[in-house]
Amino acid sequence: MIEDLKRQAAAMALTQVRSGMRLGLGTGSTARHFVDLLGAQVAAGFDCICVPTSEATARQAASLNIPLSDLDTLDRLDLTVDGADEIDPQLNLIKGGGGALLREKIVASASDAMIVIADSSKLVETLGRFALPVEVNRFGLGATRRAVAAVCAAHQCAGELRLRLAPSGESYVTDGGHLILDAFFGRISRPEALSTDLLDVAGVVQHGLFLKMCKTAYVATPDGVRTLSSDN
C-alpha cells in the first residue's frame, strides 16, 4: 500500500516535466519510483538530460537508459524531483536518511525549482521527529563531534548524537567519502539558526535541513495525492 502511494506522488511530479528539461534525480524509496516512471517515458521517446544525486540513482537511471550529465557540464537545472524524510507546513524539509544529503542539496540548489514527493507519514508540524543528519569530514572527527554536540545542546536537542553505522557495523561512508552524525532532536524550534550554527563548525560539510528550497510537494494519502505549495 505505501509503495502504491509513493508511486502516485511520483506520477504527479512527472506531470510537471516537459520534453527537453534538465532534471535533478533524487535519491530514496520514493524518488526511485519517479526514476522508474521517467525511464518508461524515455523509452517511449521522451527527451531529457538528468543529474543524479547519488551513485545508486545514477546506476538506476543508467539501467533505464536515461541520459545523464553533471553540474560541470550543465550550469543550471530546470527542476529537481526528490523525496524527503520530513516536511513541515512551510515545506521546509529534513533529508538525508539515505545518506545523499550533500549531493541532494547541491543539485537542488542548482535547480530553478524543487518538487518533493512523499507519502503523508512525512508530514510534521515541526521538524525534528526524524533524526537530523550532519555530514562531517573524517579528519578530526572527535573534535567535530564535540562541537556539533555543543551546537545541538544549545538548540535543546532532546536525544543523542550518534555516528551512523552501515549494516556491517562499520561507519557509514557517503558517496563523497564523509561520515554522518545523526542528531535526535525531537523538535527543532529554530531551524534557520541551527543551520547557521552547524555550518559554522569547521568539520561539518553539510546538514539535512533543506530550508526554503521546496516550492511544491505532492503528498500521497489514502484519499489521493495532495498538492502543497510553499506560497500557501
CB-based burial, 171-186: b 16+ in 10 Å, e otherwise? ebebbeebbbbbbbbe
| Strand partners for 123 | 87
Q: Which segments of 90-208 are extended strands (E)?
A: 93-94, 114-119, 132-136, 161-163, 179-183, 204-207
> Which sequence positions are flagged as catalytic?
104
Cβ atoms of residues 157 and 191 within 8 Å = no
Q: Which cell numbers in the block locate residue 195?
A: 543551520
Coil/strand/helix, residue 163: strand
Cβ atoms of residues 87 and 124 within 8 Å = yes
